[in-house]
Structure 1
């Protein structure tokens, strides 16, 4: 197991900065997810840790050792890619043992390591098969097994589940997390999928536009997002954002309707962005809540996502309420006092 420390790390390919001033410490035995949209710099950051890219500035330490100029093979890290990268002419056993043979380890030691990893991953019966005879999920387990047998200081995962269907992704999320718990190894996991980040990570590093937006536990980022980006990226359905104005009595007014009161020391007339999680909202009658109109209803099995129109603005509500609803119906919206999050328009900074 290893600690990984990045200090003011940057990267620029010539067309502008890809990473800007990254400061991050990954603790020994921790599972950290680097999460963000395509182009945010998360895969580049992983490749810098692996040594596949050179930083433009800053320092990278692994277990206290500066590794900026250390070759990938000498960093003692194992990487699992999205594309499996298995040798098609080799059996599962040969794929998993390849790196150990390159180290010229004794055959008995190689066999023991491969069979132990295969048992952990449910691959024992597949050891003599070639990749073409395996499913996508089995191939990804082989790629993980090849990494495990090396007994590295840390595992680096680069969107390893992106090529799998939804059911397999769910299964592999469980298997990777279980494996991490058993091995206790430091793991860095790149994903654009907020469900993967929320369900697997000890801590999430939210990245956007080459910079860290927030670092914390999944629940902390969900409950206390630092800005609009983090608030909008986590959650399904995603958070609603409404333009609101602060009234003299402290009420937040949207489209002429008072939604909730806000404990803000801001002057009346101040415009804010109001954030509301769909699952925090409730339906009632128009007389008992804020009058809104049903735009669309999406059944999910466990409940329904109800699209609502509040004047010219739109929002979503998740409910297990089974009352009949149809587009055009007039209903009431209830917003609990502790539900709203407030953000500064323009900058997106959290202000309440």
Structure 2
């Protein structure tokens, strides 16, 4: 716990962020302790702040909705009889404890109209604006993501992206819903027999009624395309449609969740690089891949695997759109295998025989494990006699 400086004790007015728009999430606990103390957060962690003396500060803190600058907050507090230096000291302490989020005014302008949109944004904004880039929420709202496949991963992923502020989410699928497609947060049992694209659109609207689900105009390249069919990354017809823009694989193959690689054309290894590595390790791979992509694979993966895969993919999509550092799936895949579902990193470097141009610009993802070399037989897979 941290005890902020009391008035006149190390509070440098010159260091106050006058134009910051502080937001204290509504779910942050404000608990009265002994005497005139108030504990902010820290109930189940070590990031709490003890305010002593607190006085009427709790009312000020509960009013931190990000819509007023710190200068305005301090002026209102002074009008109510509070020492402005006490307010500044408390806000500085909350910032140091990472409990306070400073919003960009343009993020607030991008919040949709109506109480429901404001309520959703109040929950999403604290996580969204952690990126060092300004106006993250507005940038998300201007982004367009195509989810290619209304699968048990693709539909929940589309819903999460829309709920997280992505302005336009297009779900592309020409199939019909089967009973096996139903999953929490995605298609439902009542959707059986309906066109998948329409049913997926309804799933997105359940979490964001104002979602923009319109197809992109012909020739428009989305900010990112997510390939969610099990073997789309190995299908030249499907994967080739994403060659003009960034694309990410997010799917379940059998019982294994796969997220990545995230491909930025010309800058990272591509899907063909990964296929060439597979071919190097197994000369039969082109023939096997042709069989895997010849027909639509049946729905697979447990609910937990599908949802975890969708969440991992959503995190990679948002990191890419937000510009919040290099996503871990650049030139790599994250795999989740039952029963532990612990994410494991597997790298796919640029292949020297591929003409994608990434050999000199290959991005190496930070840290992580390398449980198997590219294309190698996964651990635990037996080989039968010829």
Same fold (TM over 0.5): no
| Structure of higher RCO (CA pairs closer than 8 Å, 6+ residues apart) | 1
In the superposition, the TM-score normalised over structure 2's length comes to 0.26
Higher strand share: 1
Higher helix share: 2
